[in-house]
Amino acid sequence: MKKVTLLGDSIRLIGYGSTVAHRLSDEFTVWQPAENCRFAQHTLRGLWEWADEIAGSDVVHWNNGIWDVCRLFDDGTFTPIDRYVELMVRIASLLKQRAKVVIFATTTPVRDGDPRKRNEDITAFNEALVPKLRALGVVINDLHALVSADIPRYVREDDRTHLTDEGIAVCAAQVEKVIREEAQKL
């Protein structure tokens, strides 16, 4: 059986993660942390802690960004964009040493009116990062484009950030599809 690791923030943890793990369980061993991988620097730290679990992965599918773009104070995003890109490239490089295929899922949009997150920040972070990851040979799973097609349908109204049941379903289907496609190439 091939081994898949799922890493990511709450879009994975309370979103697509358990659905994808269940759907892949017929052909893959799937591991994912029981915790929220939060922001990029937290995930970077987690790579040390989760090293044994990640070791031997054929495919790693990962996302970070929704925490990084958060505006907690009046001084900009939680993680400055240049630092975010630097950290994410470092994470990608480390993951590429541990897995045959690394897939990055772009940060999903939020509903308008989110008091801490702005879609223009999410777009800017994705646009700054994706070319750098592609240059490293990371496969891009564009969940941002998928969810952007119908934000009211796919993003919850109550918290303006997390996926609805339908959003979870479409993202899980996309994540599963990309993982299976990349695993078949191995």
Would residue 159 be called left, alpha or beta, if left means φ above 0 and alpha means ψ between -120 and 50 degrees?
A: alpha
Specify the CATH architecture of the domain 2-184: 3-Layer(aba) Sandwich (3.40)
Q: What was the pLDDT predicted at 102?
A: 98
pLDDT at 172: 98
Report which of 83, 56, 55, 68 is spatially closest to residue 8, judged by C-alpha positions. 68
Q: pLDDT confidence of 80, banded at 50, 70, 90? A: very high
| Mean pLDDT of all residues in 21-35 | 97
Most distant CA atoms of the chain, gap in Å: 49
- Mean per-residue pLDDT for 74-78? 96
Averaged pLDDT, 163-183: 98
pLDDT digits (tens, 9 = 90+) for 91-134: 999 999 999 999 999 999 999 999 999 999 999 999 999 999 99
Residue 101 has a pLDDT of 98
pLDDT band, residue 66 (cuts 50/70/90): very high
Alpha-carbon distance of 96 to 80, in angstroms, equals 24
How much is the mean pLDDT over the chain? 97
Q: Give residue 3's Cα distance to chain centre.
A: 18
Pick from 4, 26, 1: which is nearest to 179 by CA? 4
Q: What confidence score (pLDDT) does residue 123 get?
A: 98
The residue type of 73 is F
